[in-house]
Structure 1
């Protein structure tokens, strides 16, 4: 498994985006940010991040659509995706996995949980 250096974070909440960015950068990761699922799809193809963290509920392309699209692209199919969402229903987690997500974090989360999930992929 290749080491994770660059993480694409997609969330339409600036507060959540900055929070994840600060957690990851404090731990030594480089970050790329997107404000929508469609932007995340585009950036995943052009910048080839080592991992992607996707919110589910976003304007302009939700996280499920982004996950499905990224996993169907031969260039990005092996990029690990962690869904980060306030949706805590087991059905949401199962659906994310069926679409190709590697893991799932429920908001609100502990900073340590974010780093542990990232290190585990």
Structure 2
């Protein structure tokens, strides 16, 4: 049983959209093991839109440098859908250094985590960007 269960706190569900399998595996493992969050995986922005509308995750972690649908087109579609418009998005990307506060505001992006990242710190970085309290899982 985790502290979250004992305190009757709902576990967060995070959707991770990244086409790199290794990145998905590392981030998923850290979010599950270190933060106790549920993780839903999408390997493309198009799949991410479908999954977000279906599962309504608490947040989306998005790599902005993927093939196929442009990530900012993804953001426009996400924000134009009443079912997904309020889902917070954190960008996780090596190519996000150019994103400034104007772009963050325009696309309602909560913040940016640059690759390479420290996997152990990623849950705390996400919670800081989203203003969440991190409940670390504890086995009883």
- TM-score, normalised to structure 2's length? 0.76
Rg larger for:
2
Aligned residues: 119
CA contact (8 A) 1:55 1:62 kept: no
1:24, distance to aligned residue in structure 2 (A): 0.4
- TM-score, normalised to structure 1's length? 0.87
Mark the runs of 5 or more structure 1 residues left unpaired by the alignment.
Answer: none
**Cα distance change on mapping 1:88 and 1:59 into 2, 3 Å:** closer
Mapped pair 1:10 → 2:20:
no
Cα distance in 1, alignment partners of residues 59 and 11 from structure 2:
7
Higher relative contact order (CA 8 A, sep 6+): 2
Q: Which moved more, 1:3-12 or 1:59-68?
A: 59-68
Mark the runs of 5 or more structure 2 residues left unpaired by the alignment.
Answer: 1-8, 131-140
Mapped pair 1:20 → 2:27:
yes
Cα distance in 2, alignment partners of residues 109 and 46 from structure 1:
29
User: In angstroms, what is the RMSD of aligned CA positions?
Assistant: 1.9
Structure (1/2) with the larger helix percentage: 1
